[in-house]
Amino acid sequence: MDNIDKNILECYFENGRISIKALARRINSPQATVHYRIERLKKQGIILPRSIPLINYPLLGYPSCYLFLIRTQRSQTIPKLPSTVVVTKLSYSGYWDEGILVFTALSLQECILIFRTIFKEDLLELENVHLQTISFYSLVLSKRFVKKIVAQYIIPPPKVIELTLIQKKILSAISTDGSIALWEIALKLRISPQRARYHLLELMKNKTLLQIRPQLNITKSLAILLVKLHFADKKSFDNLIAWAKKESCVNACGFGLGKYNVLIQIFYENTLDIVQVIDSLKKTIAENLHLLDLLLCTKEEVVANSEPLYLPASGTK
């Protein structure tokens, strides 16, 4: 890949629905060149067909977010759950076998009961981190763009958004594939593409839809660093935020309460990338480091709930 390809992927990763015109303007290249490069990247299998939407579930009435860490004798399929629970499941290579990220209106004890029921006697150990913020950063492949936060969960949010029925249906349609075309949304909802576009832009404007992130095959793998600090104060978190912005491999950073109080997600190409990130992290937090665990992600799965995004607290217009 040359710099044009890298610039396209950086912009595309930030917004998977960006137009050719806007993308060409941002990287200062002709539209015909950008269109050709995107099609070539798709044919090469670097830009994959589906995109992942980051939906701001806390704004929609899911006021709590937990990361459940599980050691199990064998993996279990997570069944469809009540509409009060939205789940992303990650399989790991490391001390923990699975990580289950949950946005929910249920209490911690109710969630624990659900997972104990699912895993039954296969469950060896269960821990949780009650997450309070998660920040997602832009992809860094070149030196053209400055790394920045492109999406952020604040849990619980300052307020809950009330959506119209059409907006709920658009979110439901886009939740399984962020790259779904406007005409497909319009056809499903029996509205005009112009009306579908208007409501989609409104969802982005009010931060209900934080980001649409395309799946990229860029020879990078995903790993998680779980960190426990001795002193989890504002100064420590501010130092980590500043560190994460400088580290090109860091894709996301979250803070919370529990066995670990810092969650760091990284993209890496080889073990040297991981070693360098860990060394840099240790220098940053120094004697404040109490515990550090590394997990290599082997699989990601989004588990749909039974009635996604149809929340009693929202409007029905």
Q: Is the pLDDT of residue 317 over 60?
A: no
Cα–Cα dist 10/32, whole Å: 18
Mean pLDDT of 240-252: 92
The larger pLDDT score, comparing residue 239 to residue 314, is at 239
Q: What is the dihedral of CA 54, 55, 59, 64, to 10 degrees?
A: -70
Instruction: Give me 160's structure tokens.
Output: 């809950």
Residue 84's closest CA among 315, 317, 314, 312? 312
Q: Is the pLDDT of residue 311 over 70?
A: no
How confident is the model at residue 304, as a pLDDT? 54
Q: How far is CA 66 from CA 15, 52, 103, 191, in A?
A: 26, 20, 7, 37
How confident is the model at residue 309, as a pLDDT? 45
Burial (0-12, 13-18, 19+ Cβ within 10 Å), 245: middle
How confident is the model at residue 240, as a pLDDT? 93
259-284 per-position pLDDT tens digit: 999 999 998 988 999 999 999 999 99
Instruction: Give me 23's structure tokens.
Output: 């993308």
How confident is the model at residue 216, as a pLDDT? 78
Mean pLDDT of 66-84: 81
How confident is the model at residue 225, as a pLDDT? 96
Mean pLDDT of 19-30: 93
Cα–Cα dist 253/218, whole Å: 21
Characterize the bridge pairing of strands 47-55 and 85-93.
unpaired
Q: Is the pLDDT of residue 308 over 60?
A: no
Q: What is the dihedral of CA 251, 265, 160, 158, to 10 degrees?
A: -90
217-237 per-position pLDDT tens digit: 766 788 999 999 998 888 889
Return the domain boundaries, the chain.
Answer: 1-44
Q: How far is CA 172 from CA 97, 102, 123, 125, in A?
A: 30, 18, 32, 34
Q: Three-class SS of residue 150?
A: strand
Out of 35-49, 61-75, 135-149, 212-226, which region has the weakest mean confidence (pLDDT)? Answer: 212-226
Cα–Cα dist 85/69, whole Å: 17
pLDDT band, residue 78 (cuts 50/70/90): confident
How confident is the model at residue 303, as a pLDDT? 63
| Residues facing 294 on adjacent strands | 225
Give the right CATH number for 1-44 from 3.10.105.10, 1.10.10.10, 1.25.40.10, 3.40.50.970: 1.10.10.10
Q: Look up the pTM and report it.
A: 0.84
* Helix 3-14 vs helix 20-27: crossing angle, to nearest 10: 130
